[in-house]
Amino acid sequence: MITTDICIIGAGPVGLFSVFEAGLLKMRCHLVDVLPQIGGQLSEIYPKKPIYDIPGFPEIKAEELIENLYQQILPFKPTFSLGERVDKLSRTEDGGFLLTTSDQTEIKAKVIVIAGGLGCFEPRKPELQRLEHFEGKGVVYMVKDPEKFRGKKLIIAGGGDSALDWSIYLTEIAEQVTLVHRNESFRGAPDSTEKVFDLAKAGRLNLLLNSNLHALNGNGVLKSVDIMNKQGELKKVEADYMIPLFGLSPKLGPISEWGLNIDKNAIEVNTFDYSTNVPGIFAIGDINTYPGKLKLILCGFHEAALMAQSAFKFVYPNQKLSFKYTTVNGVNAF
């Protein structure tokens, strides 16, 4: 059980900066993010893209902004549950919250801050009948522990860098790797593409180009996958695991079931302090909505600062908050 003052859902730029604003007011934070790294869409979607509207930075790469924010919050010793999704939220007797993640991590917090951007990044799924039936029983969307695939027969589907990279890596571990791709060439990194073709030539990788996943077979557990080529010919490939790697796409996820007022996939908040309709739960950044809302990182930073002032009342109900500038007080690390 992790106990903290504030549990921040989402470790994007706004979630990270909340740790700073909370830290100035002596509140500790734990962050949960479904992605395996911090930074949200900045790290996942556009790490190398320059951003031009961060005050004080005429130009900064997305990944640099995340690194800077991380350095900025380190004095306040944030803790993280990465690669986990908050699935359940309940009230505790003392008026706080208990959150349970997809990995069954339990987090007790006095305040919840949802800084979830556009929601959870979830894997894009192929359209296959009975796909859900095989999820976790042969169909996996992420390679968390490669050792799980030792000596197994794998089918990897996709044409991006991750499909190429995992195919190369897993040929060393698995008994057999089949890579299925819709087109006849790859647009990933030239090095990886060359390696994949070399492995196929050497007979170490079963490469099926111009082909699509067609059907999953097995009684309860995945046994084989039917793959159809552009000519409409079917091929049955035996498989212990199928790993579709078609990138990630954002979904609001379990947040939609927590009794919050939601309008078009965004959480309605009071602009006084970005509180939601549930006392003790705040929503900041791209995930909230209010009249005049602009989805900008800099607006999220502002929302984080105001949120922290009100969160203080839940964390320290008997204390009076006096506002102090960092230029006067400095940053007092925990």
Torsion-angle region of residue 74: left (phi > 0), alpha (psi -120 to 50) or beta?
alpha
d(CA 288, CA 299): 11
Neighbours of 63 (CB within 10 A): 16
Nearest distance in Å: CB 212, another protein: 9
- Chain length of the chain: 334
Q: Using the minimum distance from each CB to another protein, give the nearer residue, 53 or 198.
A: 53
Q: What is the contact surface with another protein in residues (CB under 8 A)?
A: 41, 45-46, 49, 118, 124-127, 157-160, 182-183, 186-187, 244, 246-247, 249-250, 264-265
Q: Which residues, 6 or more positions from 2, have their beta carbon under 8 angstroms from its beta carbon?
A: 30, 79, 81, 105, 106, 107, 108
Work out the end-to-end distance of the chain between its first and last CA atoms, rounded to an integer number of angstroms: 21
Minimum CB–partner distance for residue 178 and another protein (Å): 16
Distances (CA, A) of 286 to 15, 45, 127, 267, 304: 11, 15, 29, 9, 12
Cβ(216)–Cβ(240) below 8 Å: no
Q: What is the DSSP letter of 149?
A: G
Q: How far is the CB of 332 from another protein (least distance, A)?
A: 37
Q: Which is nearer to another protein, 75 or 126 (CB)?
A: 126
Minimal distance, residue 81 CB to another protein, in Å: 23
CB of 120 to another protein, least distance (A): 12
Cβ contact 155:178 at 8 Å: yes
Closest to another protein by CB, 49 vs 91, is: 49
What φ, ψ does residue 136 adopt, rounded to 5°? 80, -10
Smaller CB distance to another protein: residue 75 or 160?
160
Neighbours of 326 (CB within 10 A): 10
CB of 157 vs another protein, minimal distance in Å: 8
Q: Which is nearer to another protein, 16 or 62 (CB)?
A: 62
To another protein, the closest distance from the beta carbon of 182 in angstroms equals 7
What is the token pair recorded at 105? Answer: 């991590």
In whole angstroms, how close is the CB of 111 to another protein at the nearest point? 27
By beta-carbon proximity to another protein, the closer residue of 23 and 40 is 40
**Choice between 102 and 265, CB closer to another protein:** 265
Rounding to the nearest 10 degrees, give the CA dihedral for residues 292, 296, 297, 301. -20
**Residue placing its CB nearer to another protein in the complex, 158 or 280:** 158
Residue type, 278: V
